[in-house]
Amino acid sequence: MKTIAYSNPFVPPEWIAAHSLRPRRLRPPAAGGDAAVEAIRGLCPFVRAFLAAVRRDADIAAVVMTTTCDQMRHAATLATRDAVRPVFLLNVPATWQTPTARALYLDELERLGRFLVELGGSRPSPARLADAMLQHEQSRRCEADDSANNVDNNGDGIPLALIGGPLLEDDEPIFDLIHQAGGYVALDGTEGGPRTLPASFDREQLESEPLAELARAYFDAIVDPFRRPNDGFYRWLARELPRRQVRGVVLWRYVWCDLWHAEAHRMKQTCSVPLLDLDTCRDDDGSLQRAAGRIEAFLEMLQ
């Protein structure tokens, strides 16, 4: 079974799995050691790492990228030019409040389906798609339960929200750094956490029009700063921060990420609790050490 790599939450793994292909969401390690990727300047650490992971993993048959950020859009152009793997660029409309925008996203899923068939996948029947959707929804529910239990077990110290885009594999120590400084992550608002989960599937729509229901659950529900308007992201913050009793927000962003950089000021103005704007370049081993010092000072201020 061929493996299709992706990273963005707007790529539904159910749709890939329904085509009898294996979806794999990449959380890559840093790109160190890949000279071809490191030579590319102006790319954020996550995009560089994503390209490096795709280049070195022979099990990846193709990669699905999205238009949700300029960095990844540029990376798709580079990957297509280098012809390392077949690349599909999924156009995700930034505007989202109209039926026309959702219809465009649905058309893009159809186009992705044709790409998957060309790779050797099989066009799914509605029943097979519905079955894949139910299986993935159950997996997400189990993962959410495990995550909630972990928070409950480690909930000593000052509750914080960790907000931002995707994390590298090498960024995982950020949770330990927060814990060591006297806090814990009560709300994971990074890409890949609860903020970017699709809505639950409507069972009636699942039986009658599973692909349309798949598009609704992803396109209508995921909150992200790239969306215009992005008020849904701030409504999510306003709801979740008090619900999790969060006392401070850590915005974890890469230096070259214009999207999250642009949101930092508005988040400081609108969040009901103090915010630490923690930018990182991840270009050297000292990045986490510098982050640790700033997190420690931030938590001291909250005590």
The verdict on 277 and 168 lying in the same domain is: yes
Distance of CA 303 to the CA centre of its chain: 31
**Residue at 134 is within a domain:** no
The verdict on 99 and 175 lying in the same domain is: no
Q: Kindly report, residue by residue over 253-287, the tens digit of the pLDDT.
A: 988 888 999 999 999 999 999 999 999 876 666 77
Averaged confidence pLDDT in the chain: 91
63-77 burial code (b ≥16 CB/10 A, e <16)? bbbbbbbebbeebbe
The label of the residue with tokens 């798609």 reads 129
Instruction: Give the pLDDT band (50/70/90) at residue 38.
Output: low
**Residue at 208 is within a domain:** yes
Instruction: Give the pLDDT band (50/70/90) at residue 149.
Output: low
Q: Kindly report, residue by residue over 87-108, the tens digit of the pLDDT.
A: 999 999 999 999 999 999 999 9
**Mean pLDDT confidence for 224-236:** 95
pLDDT of residue 147: 62
**Which two three-digit tokens encode residue 155?**
């909930």
**Winning range, highest mean pLDDT, from 30-39, 69-78, 102-111, 138-147:** 102-111
Q: Kindly report, residue by residue over 52-97, the tens digit of the pLDDT.
A: 899 889 999 999 999 999 999 999 998 898 877 999 999 999 999 9
pLDDT of residue 155: 67
The verdict on 113 and 165 lying in the same domain is: no
The verdict on 114 and 175 lying in the same domain is: no
Q: Domain range spanning residue 105?
A: 3-123
- In the chain, % of residues over pLDDT 70: 92
Residue 162 belongs to domain with CATH number? 3.40.50.11900
Distance of CA 174 to the CA centre of its chain: 17
pLDDT of residue 9: 97
Q: Give CA–CA dist 89/65, Å, rounded.
A: 5
Number of compact structural domains in the chain = 2
**Which two three-digit tokens encode residue 285?**
């081993």
Q: Are 196 and 217 in contact (CB under 8 A)?
A: no
The verdict on 114 and 32 lying in the same domain is: yes
Q: Give which of 230, 266, 224, 281 is closest to 67, Cα–Cα.
A: 224
pLDDT of residue 228: 93
pLDDT of residue 154: 57
Name residue 52's amino acid.
Answer: A
Q: Kindly report, residue by residue over 176-217, the tens digit of the pLDDT.
A: 999 999 999 999 999 989 999 999 999 999 999 999 999 999
β-strands 183-191, 248-254 pairing: unpaired
The verdict on 170 and 270 lying in the same domain is: yes
Q: pTM for the full model?
A: 0.93
Cα of first residue to Cα of last residue in the chain, in angstroms, is 52
Residue 41 belongs to domain with CATH number? 3.40.50.11890
The verdict on 161 and 270 lying in the same domain is: yes
